[in-house]
Amino acid sequence: MVSREVLVKNSTGLHARPATLLVKKASSFKSDISIEFNGKKANVKSLIGVLSLGVTKNSNIKVMASGDDENLALEEVVKLIESIQE
């Protein structure tokens, strides 16, 4: 398992459109990918799971990946989170 802390810079946090983009990206990998925020954890391949965390702007989240392509999955998901800015 690999993990990394990420700062969410998007003005709406991980809601609606950003969360949808994140789920699509995560679903392209075999690995299990999850994010942790305020002590709660969610599967990044689940839109409801991501939205239920209520991640807001300037929040630090932990992204974790475990599986065959975990390093690439972590890298791509972190890159997407960092690049989403509305």
Which positions are catalytic?
15
Written as one letter, the residue type at 10 is: N
Q: Are 46 and 60 in contact (CB under 8 A)?
A: no
Nearest CA among 14, 4, 3 for reference residue 81: 14
Q: How many CB atoms lie within 10 A of CB 83?
A: 10
